[in-house]
Every structure is written in structure tokens, then in C-alpha cells.
Structure 1
Amino acid sequence: MRSIQQDLSGKIAVVTGAGRGLGKAIADVLAGRGAHVVVNDLTLELAEEAAASARARGESASAIAFDVSDPHQVEIAFRRIRGDHGRVDILINNAGIGDFVSFPEITPEKWDRMLNIHLKGSFNCCQAVLAGMKEQKYGKIVNISSVAGKRGDFIGNAHYTAAKAGIIGLTKSLALYAAPFGINVNAIAPGLVATELSDEMSSEMKATTISRIPAGRLGRPEEIARATAFLVSDDASYVFGETLSVNGGSYMD
């Protein structure tokens, strides 16, 4: 049984990049706590599959496809979401990509794509919901950063690290602006999580990463999802601008 403070019944939540992996786990937890979850992904098929799985459990979910890095697509999508549901109460900026390369391998194209999806995408979606949240004097935004954004990345994955560090800065700045309007803006900084993204790593790279985690294992998607759900619940009503580390002890601050 969920506590009253963590009951999200009646809330409208948008989770980007939620067709699979960590985003899907977050969408599942929010739907399980009573929210209607709008599942976003780049392709409608992936988003609809995730939404359908929630509905099969008796939960409330719908699907929408848009590219978070394209401000025009984002504007149209959120206009549609508000038309369908009246408002947005919760936004989880999760959409992202991986690219496990060393610093010399980062091309200008790789740099731009990484920052466009992670950092610009989070900015685009925050802008799309902010006016409505200010008007209703309520809103919860959680931006998914990474332990790399706090610590750096051992393999020199600087474009990913820069994007995730930028998300932390965006979170703090927006939190300062939005708090007087009753809007909580926070971030999550996961360590490496067992998803399709980590499957792209070589076995050697994965083993090296795990050796640096005091907990001795990768995170599970549902562990990150439950931490995210805490930040959008009334239990975190006095939390603003924080970046919650969920990383098995691999970085402590």
C-alpha cells in the first residue's frame, strides 16, 4: 500500500524517452502510484507498447511520439497533451542516448547530438510546461542527470559528461526561478543501470565500472524509478534544486 504522500492519483505525468529502459521503469512506477502517464519516445510504436503494458495492469497511460531536441515538435506535443488532459503536473526529462567513446573519438557531430538530446531536450520540455505549472501554482520536474555529471567519466566520455553536468546546472537555475510558483525542480544522478544502454558497453568496460561500485553491482531500473517517484511526491514538497545520487556508493558528495 502506498502512503498518502506518495499517492499520485489524478496527476498527469509526462516521461520522455520512456519506451524502454529506465524511462519505462519510471513510467511504470508513476502509473502504479496512480498517475496518468503520457509515455514519450522517438517512435510511437515503442511508446505505445510501454503505455499498453501499463494499461494491461489496470493503470492509466497513453503514448505520444516526439523528438525532445526539436523545440517545434515539443511545442506541438505539449499543446496536444494539454488539450487531451488539461494540464501537466509532472515532467520527467529522461530521454537520452549513450555513446561510449574516448575523448579523441568525440566528433563535433557527436558532441552536438549528445547535448541536443540530453541538455537542449530537457530545456525544451521544461519551457513547454513552465507556463502551465506557474498558472496552476503546482508542478514537479525531475531531470535525469548522471553520476558522470558530478564526477566525470573514467573513459573520457566528455560529451555525455558535459550534457549531464549541464542538466544539473539547469536544474538548480530553474529551481530558483520556479520555487516561488510552487514548482519543485530536482534531478537524479544515477550510476550505471542495467538497461539496454549499458548493454552497449564492452564486457571489459562493464567489469571495470562494477569494480568501482562499492555495492558490487549495477543499479536496477526500478531503484532509480522509486527515487524519482519520491521527488515528485508530497514527501519531497520541501526539496528544491537537489540532485539525488543513486549510484551504489560509486560517488559520494
Structure 2
Amino acid sequence: MSMNLDHIAGYEIGSAQLLTSEQKKEILSIIQNPLQRQHQSLEGRASVRHADVQGLGKIVVKSYRRGGLLRYFVSSYYIRYGQSRAYQEFDLMNQFRALGGHAPEPLCYVNLGSLFYRTWLVTREVETHYTLAQLSRHAPELVHQAVQNLVRQVNLLIEHKIFHVDLHPGNVLVQQTGAVYLVDFDKAHRYLGNAHSLRQQYLRRWRRAVIKHELPDDLSELFCGGILTSSHD
């Protein structure tokens, strides 16, 4: 994948498509505005903001934040070992989409700093959606179709040995059509074990998330049943 790199006022902007100077400046303006941390039960170690950029439409800007004790001292800074976290997520999302997977379109990543850096990922917004967690609580009659579509996406991950380490019902977006999109590929990576081992990882983590967040049992039964059944096809 060929990349377009630009440097503006100390920021590095990388994209797989050409962005205009105005679009880049608008994205940087969004990044530089203070962001209030969101508190949601299924939120990961990232905060997002939504915006509308001329020529790009509705976008989501994700900033990366540390977990654990370090978050009290350097919540938004990382030490660089190779590529930034935003670049790695940007790259793997593009790989998944190239395989036919459903993930939001990555538009660009932004880095600030060299050894100690901050980083952001910009994606196109998936419009008119609920998370699967929300759907299970407020429109349970729609869950069956959504989980069937999710199983197909997870089977694609398994087939190509991609380990989405934070796959849970809060990171599955469901549109009104029933189409599902997987988000938050931070720390996702190529899996070195076999398909059976990866499948078990997904099953265990999914069950644990459903229990932890007190979601309906149907989410585990439908997902795990679908994954196990398809493994015998």
C-alpha cells in the first residue's frame, strides 16, 4: 500500500489517499481542541470525537490513551518502538478491508513527536448505527441477524489469522440493514498459532466480555454457536 506522508507544524500525517491541505489543517484543528474523556462501560483506552470535514464527510478521530498506573502520569504519550500505534491500526484495518472485511475506512493517521509521541487515527464514520451491546438491550429481536453477520466477519479474521484482541459487543457496530462493522483494531496482530487456537481465543474473550458487562446470555449462545458450527463446515 503506497502512503502519502506530509509534515505540518511538527505533525506527521500519513494517508493512503490524497488529502487536500485544507482537509489536513481541519483534521489538525480537531485534534488540537481539548477533549473530555468519555466514560462508557465498554470503552477501551481511547477517546473519540466526531466531526464533519469538507470533502471527507463525517469522520471519527481516535486518540490513544494509556491504561494502568501510567495513565496518571503520561496518559497520552508513548515511547516509540517501530511504527506508532495509530499507524499499526491503520495498516491492519486496511489489510482486513482488502480481504473483504467490514471495518470503517481508515483515512489517515497523525503522529506528534519522535521518541515520545502522541498519535491519532482518523476513520470515516459508520453512519446510523448501534453497538451490538446496545442492540442486545434495546432491540433484542434484531440481534440474531446481526450476530450471524458478525460470525462471518470473525471467521474471516480466523481464516487469515488476524487476532482482534479487544473484540466484544461494544466494538461491533450494527447498521439498520443488519450490516456489522468491527472497530478498535488497536493491538490487533497476525496470529502465529493455528486456526483452532485462535478460534478458542475469540470464544473465551467473547464469553468473558458478555459476563463482565452483564449483557444478555443470548449474545454468547448465538456467537459461540455460530463460530463452532461454521468451524465444521
Question: Does TM, scored on the shorter chain, surpass 0.5?
Answer: no
Larger radius of gyration: 2
> Would you tell me which structure has more helix in proportion to its own residues?
1
Q: Which has the higher contact order (CA 8 A, sep 6+)?
A: 1
- The TM-score normalised by the length of structure 1 is 0.27
